[in-house]
Chains A and B, each alone.
Chain A
């Protein structure tokens, strides 16, 4: 397994270079270093000298990808792409365009993101699996039909509606929790109730349908019929046999997102004023802060790769037939 993990890590390097190159190209197609300077220096009374100085101070006065004036290997290394990208591989994210240390900001802002994402993930998974098993149990009955219709309705509603609806109903009309905001430590509980609830409800439709499909596929297998033939109760069949055998597709979807949980949710964090990494990314895009955008995309890619490796490893835990070699 160790060799497998090493191999996957090595495979990740060209992927990360590619992602970085793509992010770089997409960002600089839309924004030039001059645009970034103007954005940071403000709109009033900005002189060309100030722009040049800003670019020079932050290393944006170099060519983007290829330095025709340099010699040797410097044609590639003395460029914005190289100087801004190479340190990412040792997870040194450097400074944002306003001078703040990105690594520090990420460390600070990952906790609010996790405070929402972890309960939404765990409770959401349990709720979705429970509902899916319930529908599978009542398959081909009115409960199943109406359940699926309900899921389709829930899937069709925009996340934004859940957020605004939740804020209106629970925060404004019933006045049970604050409409938005955040606090740290135990005080955070009352701020988390609503976004977590919204996150869970928003995910029920798609999650339940997905797991229901998996369970229905399993439920018609021979081993299930055998279990029933042995006289096991339907609940025992579902929880002890069907659920266990459906773990591989469940893990495929679930484990891969675990490392990404701390990247936060762009919409939820923005509407609930949660100071997480999702909001951090959105703010950086709005402020044309390439250093943060690049760092967050890179981190997202790394986390995704970690998620895939974890998924592979988790297969071996739930299915003894699988070996990583």
Chain B
């Protein structure tokens, strides 16, 4: 048939053409593939080469309202936006407070019970109240925000919105107009009043009730006022705090305000460097309190309003959060002083240059450590921590035990920064427990024996990859009161051997145990084995290894450890009710003062009796007396001597097995500059600088797509179809033949 012939003739030619086209396309793809890179770039092409910092967050920040926020992952954002009056020096160590929006450090005045001013060196017990007078710099402007937008008549444009005006509004960016205004002292006072707001649940309200004059009474008054406040669309209307005066926080003039504190509380200065004491414009509070805002998720807890170097321009914490340079930022310069070694480390190269350096910081949600780590290695994140999974790939230890980068990391130009964190992780003994608690010599010896047996150096090596230092006392390194050297070791647990502390032998622990009345781990009177119960949380494979290790430590001195594993809620309940015997817990410093650690063993701060943070329920009259004295002192040799005394008492009584202070390991790429761990400051982003060109070059080098396996796989799949077709045809013909023959 002509038609058939015709087809038969042209088919191979057509196929040849197709093959040729396919070959050309493939060659083109491969050739262009040689020049193409960064197919795996998770960011839009428009961002290439821009002065943008890329970072990640693991968990959605719960609160961005400075009166509620109290965790580091939240401070990473609001620390760049809100500006309290004080800040920490970026480079100097020990940590040093300095003015931020304040013109100078606050003037502190002391008064006696009669209201007479006392000299600065007055004894703490004479001081009935203190006054902090803070002058702020004039001319500081808020970031552009709709709450400040005004119409042609000068009236606020969005502070009295009607439901119709909110139609089509889904986020803050949908408001077309923005405005700004100058920062004034009243904004700081407004924020202090917000600490007592009944609907805000500030975590430090309870603490500040004890210090800020009249705050507790103010909270009651606000509760009553809020009750009386009308509701609109199911939400309470705005409560104007400007009309409700607070005795402890007053505006003196446009740029000056005063905070009145009960007694003497020098640590208040540190609180003034925290976002709790950042300014809050009343316009913002009123703007967000309007009906219809909360149902659209437009709240102050979601959209901060500040004067800092950055403003939050994208807040989708399910995906990404973006900090963009605040065009109204008042300006600061990079510090020209630091600590020893900063010049050599290149940390003063930018001295005197205007801040911030980076235009935008993009934080992407990254819940899992493996993709996060791989993206860091591909150059898509500028810094990274080191998870246990990738530790061996990144770090190796020298024979002396010093951590260093592996050759692979060094080859990529990655740098390692380490810092001992201002935290402590300890094993606590419940002092109310009849077996391990109490002040008897028996219990004390038992606790000391356990303290020797549980080898925390081993724990750090196995479970923290060497990222930690074993604790000799309460105060971690970097905080006043921490000691180094022979004189600073815990003599009940360590000996000083060859210039370093060495844990006492297990035989010593056994001896102590025998003296306590438990020879070979058995009660001398009853002959029964002594069971120690450890309350823990967590049930993963790594936890199991940790629990096995702990049992082994106790078994070294013939003690049987019973691990009571529970969820965190029940664990906390046990701690509150005093039903735990031995437990593991930790504390992260709020501020760099020994008071913030010593109070963890202060009797009136006991968890069971007073609901405080003294989880061991330790109580020692001498320790408490010294604490009362120490907490109000300035850092001085006299204060240091008291801290040593307190540490000695605590070491002797051993309410804690002192545990460890964790060490932070951070990796940075070669294009990331001015990186210095600062565990106290929150506004550190503005000091960082990146070299976008170098980053772009490295990314191109590191991210060349490998196409050939895809091509090979495609060919294999295509070729595998051919035998299938042959088999199909054969089967069809067989079936036809079979049908024909039958």
Q: Show the binding face of A for B, using Cβ within 8 Å.
A: 30-32, 35, 38-42, 44-50, 53-54, 57, 95, 98-101, 104-105, 108-109, 112, 134, 137-138, 141, 143, 164, 167, 171-183, 187, 190-191, 228, 231, 233-235, 270-273, 275, 279-280, 283, 287-288
A109 contacts across to B, CB distance below 8 A: 318
Q: In the bound complex, what is the Cα–Cα distance between A32 and B39 (angstroms)?
A: 48
Q: In the bound complex, what is the Cα–Cα distance between A57 and B203 (angstroms)?
A: 15
A50 contacts across to B, CB distance below 8 A: 201, 203, 205-206
Given the known A-B contacts A109-B318, A175-B39, A271-B368, are A44 and B70 also in contact in the complex, defined by CB atoms under 8 Å? yes
Among A44, A95, A190, the one with the most B-chain Cβ atoms within 10 Å of its Cβ is A44
Q: In the bound complex, what is the Cα–Cα distance between A228 and B71 (angstroms)?
A: 72
Q: Are A171 and B318 in contact (CB under 8 A)?
A: no
* CB of A181 to closest CB in B, whole Å: 4
Q: Are B294 and A95 in contact (CB under 8 A)?
A: yes
* CB of A170 to closest CB in B, whole Å: 9
Task: Supply 19 A–B pairs (Cβ within 8 Å), ascending by A.
Answer: A44-B70, A50-B201, A104-B296, A104-B297, A171-B371, A175-B378, A176-B707, A178-B380, A179-B42, A190-B39, A228-B735, A234-B732, A270-B367, A271-B367, A273-B319, A273-B367, A273-B368, A283-B60, A287-B62
Q: In the bound complex, what is the Cα–Cα distance between A31 and B568 (angstroms)?
A: 10
Q: Is B295 an interface residue (CB 8 A)?
A: yes
Given the known A-B contacts A41-B201, A138-B727, are A176 and B294 also in contact in the complex, defined by CB atoms under 8 Å? no
- Beyond the given A112-B319, A173-B706, could you list 6 further A-B residue pairs with CB under 8 A, ordered by the A residue number? A30-B567, A98-B63, A99-B299, A175-B378, A180-B371, A181-B42
Q: Are B613 and A100 in contact (CB under 8 A)?
A: no
Please give me the residue from chain A that is nearest to B739 by CB atom: A231
B710 contacts across to A, CB distance below 8 A: 174, 176
Given the known A-B contacts A41-B203, A53-B198, A171-B371, are A176 and B301 also in contact in the complex, defined by CB atoms under 8 Å? no
Please give me the residue from chain A that is nearest to B39 by CB atom: A176
Given the known A-B contacts A105-B297, A174-B710, are A137 and B728 also in contact in the complex, defined by CB atoms under 8 Å? yes
Given the known A-B contacts A98-B63, A101-B295, are A45 and B705 also in contact in the complex, defined by CB atoms under 8 Å? no
* CB of B711 to closest CB in A, whole Å: 11
Q: In the bound complex, what is the Cα–Cα distance between A137 and B728 (angstroms)?
A: 9
Q: In the bound complex, what is the Cα–Cα distance between A77 and B590 (angstroms)?
A: 44
Q: In the bound complex, what is the Cα–Cα distance between A52 and B569 (angstroms)?
A: 17
Please give me the residue from chain A that is nearest to B56 by CB atom: A273
Among A30, A172, A288, the one with the most B-chain Cβ atoms within 10 Å of its Cβ is A172
Given the known A-B contacts A45-B207, A45-B613, are A179 and B295 also in contact in the complex, defined by CB atoms under 8 Å? no
**Cβ-defined partner of B365 (8 Å) among A30, A108, A234, A275:** A275
Please give me the residue from chain B that is nearest to A272 by CB atom: B371
A101 contacts across to B, CB distance below 8 A: 294-297
Q: In the bound complex, what is the Cα–Cα distance between A42 and B69 (angstroms)?
A: 9
A173 contacts across to B, CB distance below 8 A: 706
Q: In the bound complex, what is the Cα–Cα distance between A171 and B370 (angstroms)?
A: 11
Q: Are A273 and B201 in contact (CB under 8 A)?
A: no
Q: Is B480 an interface residue (CB 8 A)?
A: no
A191 contacts across to B, CB distance below 8 A: 42
B728 contacts across to A, CB distance below 8 A: 137, 234-235
Q: Are B198 and A180 in contact (CB under 8 A)?
A: no
Q: Are A181 and B364 in contact (CB under 8 A)?
A: yes
Q: Are A42 and B203 in contact (CB under 8 A)?
A: yes
Q: Are B40 and A178 in contact (CB under 8 A)?
A: yes
Q: Are A167 and B370 in contact (CB under 8 A)?
A: yes
Contact count A vs B, C-beta below 8 Å: 155
* CB of A308 to closest CB in B, whole Å: 30
Q: In the bound complex, what is the Cα–Cα distance between A172 and B295 (angstroms)?
A: 41
**Among all A-B residue pairs, the 4 with the closest Cβ atoms:** A275-B318, A47-B206, A180-B371, A35-B569
B179 contacts across to A, CB distance below 8 A: none
Q: In the bound complex, what is the Cα–Cα distance between A138 and B730 (angstroms)?
A: 12
Given the known A-B contacts A98-B63, A179-B375, are A44 and B367 also in contact in the complex, defined by CB atoms under 8 Å? no
Q: In the bound complex, what is the Cα–Cα distance between A164 and B611 (angstroms)?
A: 45
* CB of A219 to closest CB in B, whole Å: 14
Q: Is B664 an interface residue (CB 8 A)?
A: no
Q: Are B201 and A57 in contact (CB under 8 A)?
A: yes
Q: Is B199 an interface residue (CB 8 A)?
A: yes
- Kindly identify, within residues 257 to 279 of chain B, every residue whose CB is under 8 Å from any CB belonging to chain A: none
Q: In the bound complex, what is the Cα–Cα distance between A48 and B201 (angstroms)?
A: 12
B541 contacts across to A, CB distance below 8 A: none
Q: In the bound complex, what is the Cα–Cα distance between A181 and B63 (angstroms)?
A: 23
- Kindly identify, within residues 531 to 582 of chain B, every residue whose CB is under 8 Å from any CB belonging to chain A: 567, 569, 572
Q: In the bound complex, what is the Cα–Cα distance between A251 and B194 (angstroms)?
A: 58
Q: In the bound complex, what is the Cα–Cα distance between A41 and B375 (angstroms)?
A: 33
Please give me the residue from chain A that is nearest to B170 by CB atom: A104
* CB of A272 to closest CB in B, whole Å: 8
Q: Is B629 an interface residue (CB 8 A)?
A: no
Q: In the bound complex, what is the Cα–Cα distance between A231 and B370 (angstroms)?
A: 57
* CB of B395 to closest CB in A, whole Å: 20
**Cβ-defined partner of B71 (8 Å) among A42, A190, A288:** A42
Q: Are B294 and A273 in contact (CB under 8 A)?
A: no
Please give me the residue from chain A that is nearest to B223 by CB atom: A53
Q: Are A57 and B198 in contact (CB under 8 A)?
A: yes
Q: Are B368 and A180 in contact (CB under 8 A)?
A: yes
Q: Is B204 an interface residue (CB 8 A)?
A: yes
B374 contacts across to A, CB distance below 8 A: 167, 171-172, 179
B359 contacts across to A, CB distance below 8 A: none
* CB of B319 to closest CB in A, whole Å: 4
Q: Are A98 and B301 in contact (CB under 8 A)?
A: yes
Please give me the residue from chain B that is nearest to A187 by CB atom: B44
* CB of A283 to closest CB in B, whole Å: 7
B297 contacts across to A, CB distance below 8 A: 100-101, 104-105
- Kindly identify, within residues 598 to 640 of chain B, every residue whose CB is under 8 Å from any CB belonging to chain A: 611, 613
Q: In the bound complex, what is the Cα–Cα distance between A141 and B203 (angstroms)?
A: 70
Q: Is B154 an interface residue (CB 8 A)?
A: no
* CB of A292 to closest CB in B, whole Å: 12
Q: Are A175 and B203 in contact (CB under 8 A)?
A: no
Q: Is B418 an interface residue (CB 8 A)?
A: no
